Structure 1
Amino acid sequence: MKHQSSEYVVVIGGGFSGLATAGLLAASGHRVTLLEMQDSLGGRAGRLHRDGFSFDTGPSWYLMPEVIEHWFKLMGTSTTVELDLVDLEVGYRTWFQGHPDPLDMTTGPGAVAAFESVQTGAGVALEKYLAYAETSYGLALEHFLYDGFSSVRSLLNPRLPALLPRLAPLLSRSLDSFVAQRFSDPRLRQILGYPAVFLGSSPKHTPALYHLMSHLDLTQGVKYPLGGFAKLVDAMAELCTKAGVKIVTGATAEGIDTVQTGRHTRVDSVRWSDSRGETHRLDASVVVGAADLHHIESRLLPRKLRSSSDAAWKRRDPGPSAVLICLGIRGKLPKLLHHNLLFTQDWDENFGRIRRGEPLDTETSIYVCMPSATDPGVAPAGHENLFMLIPAPTLPEWGTGGADGNGSEQVEAVADAALAQLAAWAGIPDLAERIVVRQTFGPGDFVNNVNAWRGGALGLAHTLGQSAFFRPANRSAKVEGLHYAGSSVRPGVGVPMCLISAEITAKAVNGIKDLGPFSMDGQNRDAREPEGDVQEERVAK
């Protein structure tokens, strides 16, 4: 590969995609500045410290470990060196409305036995299902996930026609129908359909291709980084700094300036304001928008330079929002495990209310994380750390959360109902009386904290019309040098997907045409200018 000349790069957004992109570009010879509007890094992977409790307020499932490991390898190290990863003996505990006893889902044979205990013959069916899921996962890694689909070359890939007989049925039907064809018990269908929620969608609106998600937790297993996902953020930030990235927090991007050269419009600089309100301009030959795509295009670019029209955005599905609850609990909660899922019987109506923007029912499907079951460092001795996520409509007007019940009326009402539901289903009648710390977050917080379009909690939903090459692109259609990374664009939602989007962007900036993962082989590691030559930053006039 030809060595690439060093570029001045500005990355907007310090979440996983922003950190991953900044690190790869700096390690491959570019001069990179990362701007993050919050005081701490992580984006949606937020953190909260109160009274001896440490909460992750975003991602909590460590899946696709090979993708995360690959990024660390590209940065010259490994997750073994940088993180303390623990394998969870039980991936998650599931509770079902109307059934008093939970079902524990372990990896491999344990999952097969659990399915068989619910439905005769379901164990063998699960083995076949997971084998199919593993094959689909391999196809996705090889042919889709690392491809930005930025050229006709991707669509003319000679290997694709041979794959169509396998892919067409997985793209033309829903995950819900795919699962229902193989399993009759509603509980088993919910276990295999719920991964759609982690993709910002629902089983009826997610392509069957995403049955591959079950390979991740039921075959590969679930890991946890001691200290939480904040530790993963900190490890990535440290590697970025070592690679030469200049990280500026409390830096709010105000606009992307461009210059016209003949017929071409190129990025020229980024205007940003600091915590004192002083405005700066940073020269840039490359800009990576690693924040919410709608915010980048609608707030930082003039209308004529936006890749998507207002009409196009009206047709898009933002996925669900959420009400989050961080709880410090006095005493232990032995009936809960690290990951817990509560499923209601009105599965379709549950998702329907969210899609239609209606109030949630008194009991709804909930995710509960208790990291203190694995990591004693996240809670004081004799206490538990609980994080609850209640999928909700994308209605910022529901308001924001607050400390100790002082959030908006709607958010706190949802939180109270979820607490009552958990107490009843898990047999913890005194749960509310044992709360020593309570902090809620609502749809309005996703808007305020991460500029999320319509308060979406995850990113654009993985519907058929918003997956693979139908998802927004990783580079601007109208501005040269402007790239995008993160959950709004290809390949999609989730920490591993955000890291893959960073690799797609790093390949584009470095002129790499290969469709596979990014590689440092042949990179010009000495392309940076001498230390005296720094990226020009000046106070905007």
Structure 2
Amino acid sequence: MERKRAIVIGAGFGGLAMGIRLQSLGFDTTIVEKLDGPGGRAYVRKVDGFTFDMGPTVITVPHFIEELFALERDAANLAAPDFPPETLVPEARVTSGISSGPATSKYVTLTPILPFYRIYFDDGTFFDYDGDPERTREQIRALAPEDLEGYERFHAAAEAIFKRGFLELGYTYFGDIGTMLRVVPDLVRLDAVRPLFSFVKRYFRNPKMQQVFSFEPLLIGGNPLQVPAIYAMIHFVEKTWGIHFARGGTGALVQGLVRKFEDLGGVMRYNSEVRRIIVTDEHGREPRGLRARRIARGVELADGTRLEADLVVSNGDYATTYLRLIDRKHRRINNDLRVRLARQSMSLIVIYFGFRADPRDAQLRHHNIILGPRYEGLLEDIFNRKTLADDFSQYLHIPTLTDPSLAPPGHHAAYTLVPVPHNGSGLNWSQLAEPFVDKVLRFLDERGYLPGLMDRLVHKSYITPDYFEGTLNSWLGNGFGVEPLLIQSAYFRPHNRSEDIERLYLVGASVQPGGGTPSVMMSAKMTARVIAKDYGIPDSIVRRVPESLQMV
């Protein structure tokens, strides 16, 4: 039987995971990418001897990655357990040495990072967040002894949400309202629908502990004051599987996924921006009338090249996919009004800098969260008031503390990421960015995080929301897709199967289940399952699980 063809738009984590899964389902798959290399938000910048990961740097749930690397051509694993029992035992959380599985290690080396994050407060004290309950208790006892009992209750509540919300429901595709309604009672019972910060304040009185146990949604574009408390499960996701680093940077993991995709027979096509998704009726003609079938037939590139396919999957931004790639006459459900009303996540200024090393740099860790003097007020400025405040918080990433190969000898490569409003704010980054970037770097110098940084600096570059909007085609320059609000979760989040156009599917941070590298990989598996169902792929293919995966 002739193999069917698939096209994936975008070579981010979602597109690469989707391409691998489509190849394993028996499709001949081409990934088309606007940039000159893979990664999307995880693109790599190399300059002056420094290697900078431009986007995601926190890697968790390594068995998701192992599953992808273990896939074989025409041997999908969609019926395999999503969370094999072996991945849930305490020994699965590797805290030293190498954590790559046998299939992963053929393509990339993953190494655990401890602590997960060093969280600095504005008064100079810090909290090493590592998922170890006993170590956590010691630090709470030192910083906020009044919250020891509250931590025990929070730990139990977060574990219950993790078991139900992630282990049991994580791969649930909410394609109809009935599926959603069946789980609402459980989420209400777990108190998982109230805002996360409100949930955390039930257990912690000290503002420092409230921040420690609520900041994580910021790493996936969520406002802790507004995301539902189901995101408390992130604490347990990290605690269960740890935080990992790909030797050579996140870009090494991206390149490993590209090699896996190509090993399975997939084709990468760079410098290939998509102008539109081709839509016809069942006869290959222009659809006419409301009742006419609308079927995705391929894509047209910016240079006019047409690539035909039996299905199209967009790893592009949800709003950009519908508003720019599909004519409005083909969109009844995802019409202009509905798409534009979807609230987008905040954006980022990311500063990439190289500097001469100093022994004092060892006070920092691989991942550092540096909180400003305000927490709730700053979040309101970023997400709701959409103003650029005088103060800021930041995530400082120094991978050369773990892997010196990313910088010239005697130097460090780092980036610091500052949440800012997206371009719906109207802020003029061409005027604001340069002085703001210098302000952030001077802060790191003058506050003693990187003493003497301004004199040691040898490279500085940065991106703003304009990069996300203009280069990554991210609507309003959002950094993480559709904002993870309660009213934009599960069934109410954009769907992985288009309601308007047959054979058009979506994958990535904007659709179910949401943002963050683990969720994006889950999104690819969700979408693959929907495609397998739509195309009647037999169980003999879906259930043929590679032996290496059975051992995960």
TM-score by length of 1: 0.87
1:340 matched to 2:368: yes
Q: Mark the runs of 5 or more structure 2 residues left unpaired by the alignment.
A: 74-101, 283-290, 547-552
Deviation, structure 1 residue 95: 1.3
- The alignment's C-alpha RMSD in Å is 2.5
The aligned amino acid for 2:268 is I
Aligned mates of 2:535, 2:492 — CA distance in 1:
20
Deviation, structure 1 residue 181: 0.9
1:63 matched to 2:60: yes
Give the structure 1 partner of residue 50 of structure 2: 53
Deviation, structure 1 residue 120: 1.2
Give the structure 2 partner of residue 538 of structure 1: none
**Equivalent in 114, 120, 128 of residue 139 of structure 2:** 114
Moved more, 66-75 or 278-287: 66-75
Deviations 1:147-191 (A, max 9, x none): 22224663476xx47735534x211x1101111110111111111
Moved more, 66-75 or 41-50: 66-75
Change in 2 beyond 3 A, CA 1:324/1:502: same
Give the structure 2 partner of residue 371 of structure 1: 399
Contact 2:12–2:39 under 8 Å retained in 1: yes
Q: Which residues of 2 match residues 74-153 of structure 1 at below 5 A?
A: 74-75=71-72, 78-97=103-122, 99-108=123-132, 109-151=134-176
Aligned mates of 1:103, 1:56 — CA distance in 2:
25
Give the structure 2 partner of residue 37 of structure 1: 34
Aligned mates of 1:21, 1:60 — CA distance in 2:
20
Give the structure 1 partner of residue 336 of structure 2: 310
Deviation, structure 1 residue 259: 1.8
Contact 1:474–1:489 under 8 Å retained in 2: yes
SS in 2 for 1:177: helix
Aligned mates of 2:256, 2:450 — CA distance in 1:
37
Aligned mates of 2:450, 2:28 — CA distance in 1:
54
Contact 1:394–1:455 under 8 Å retained in 2: yes
Contact 2:328–2:336 under 8 Å retained in 1: no
Deviation, structure 1 residue 309: 2.4
1:231 matched to 2:265: no
Q: Mark the runs of 5 or more structure 1 residues left unpaired by the alignment.
A: 401-407, 525-541
Deviations 1:7-32 (A, max 9, x none): 21111111011111111111221111
Q: Which residues of 2 match residues 81-480 of structure 1 at below 5 A?
A: 81-97=106-122, 99-108=123-132, 109-151=134-176, 154-155=179-180, 160=183, 163-164=186-187, 166-167=189-190, 169-171=191-193, 173-261=194-282, 263-273=292-302, 278-306=303-331, 307-332=333-358, 333-395=361-423, 398=427, 408-480=430-502
Contact 1:183–1:189 under 8 Å retained in 2: yes
Deviation, structure 1 residue 82: 2.4
Deviations 1:263-298 (A, max 9, x none): 42211221113xxxx421111110001111111111
SS in 2 for 1:264: coil
Deviation, structure 1 residue 448: 1.6
Aligned mates of 1:513, 1:285 — CA distance in 2:
10
Contact 2:444–2:451 under 8 Å retained in 1: no
Aligned mates of 1:398, 1:113 — CA distance in 2:
43
Q: Which residues of 2 match residues 505-516 of structure 1 at below 5 A?
A: 505-511=527-533
SS in 2 for 1:25: helix
Aligned mates of 1:201, 1:114 — CA distance in 2:
26
The aligned amino acid for 1:102 is F
The aligned amino acid for 2:42 is A
Moved more, 346-355 or 118-127: 118-127
Q: Which residues of 2 match residues 513-532 of structure 1 at below 5 A?
A: 520-522=542-544
Aligned mates of 1:155, 1:321 — CA distance in 2:
29
SS in 2 for 1:204: coil
Give the structure 2 partner of residue 531 of structure 1: none
Change in 2 beyond 3 A, CA 1:420/1:38: same
Contact 2:14–2:315 under 8 Å retained in 1: yes
Change in 2 beyond 3 A, CA 1:164/1:175: closer
The aligned amino acid for 2:465 is P
The aligned amino acid for 1:100 is G
Aligned mates of 2:535, 2:162 — CA distance in 1:
22
SS in 1 for 2:19: helix
The aligned amino acid for 2:371 is F
Contact 2:319–2:340 under 8 Å retained in 1: no
Moved more, 51-60 or 147-156: 147-156
Deviation, structure 1 residue 387: 0.6
Give the structure 1 partner of residue 84 of structure 2: none
**Equivalent in 6, 11, 27 of residue 9 of structure 1:** 6
Contact 2:162–2:236 under 8 Å retained in 1: yes
Aligned mates of 1:297, 1:427 — CA distance in 2:
44
Contact 1:357–1:394 under 8 Å retained in 2: no
How many residues are matched?
Answer: 502
Give the structure 1 partner of residue 92 of structure 2: none
Give the structure 1 partner of residue 510 of structure 2: 488
Deviation, structure 1 residue 350: 0.5
Contact 1:17–1:502 under 8 Å retained in 2: yes
Aligned mates of 2:184, 2:209 — CA distance in 1:
34
Deviations 1:435-456 (A, max 9, x none): 1010110010001221001001
Change in 2 beyond 3 A, CA 1:47/1:485: same
Aligned mates of 2:38, 2:258 — CA distance in 1:
8
Aligned mates of 1:495, 1:390 — CA distance in 2:
19
The aligned amino acid for 1:330 is R
Contact 2:355–2:458 under 8 Å retained in 1: yes
Moved more, 82-91 or 438-447: 82-91
Aligned mates of 2:444, 2:231 — CA distance in 1:
29
